[in-house]
Amino acid sequence: MQNRERRQGSAPDSAEVRSRLNAAQQAALPLLERFGWELRFVRRPLFQEPVPILFSADGARWVTLEPDGSVNENPGFQLRD
C-alpha cells in the first residue's frame, strides 16, 4: 500500500506558510500572535480554499483563520495527531 502521508519531517518555512494567506488573514494574524496564537500550517483540502491552522501558546487548542480574517473555534473537522 502506498504511503499517502504528505507532511514533511522538518518544520515549514514561516514566510512560505504566510504567503498562502489572503490579505484579510495576513492582517488578522499579527493580532492573534500578540495573544499567543501561532500559525503552524495551512491545510489544503482538494477543490477548496486553503485553511490556516493556529495553535494556542500551550498547544492545547487550535482554531482556523477564516478567509475574512475571523477565528473559527469549531471548524467541523478533526486534525490528526
* Residue 69 phi, psi dihedral angles, 5° rounding: 90, 0
Q: What is the pLDDT of residues 56-77, one digit of tens each?
A: 999 999 999 999 999 999 998 8
- Rounded to whole angstroms, the Cα distance separating 27 from 43 reads 19
Q: What is the pLDDT of residues 24-38, one digit of tens each?
A: 999 999 999 999 999
The 3-state DSSP class for residue 38 equals strand
Tell me the C-alpha to C-alpha distance, in Å, between residue 56 and each of 3, 5, 23, 48, 60.
30, 25, 22, 25, 6
How far, in whole angstroms, is CA 41 from its chain's centroid? 4
Reported pTM: 0.79
Q: What ranges do the domains of the chain cover? A: 14-68
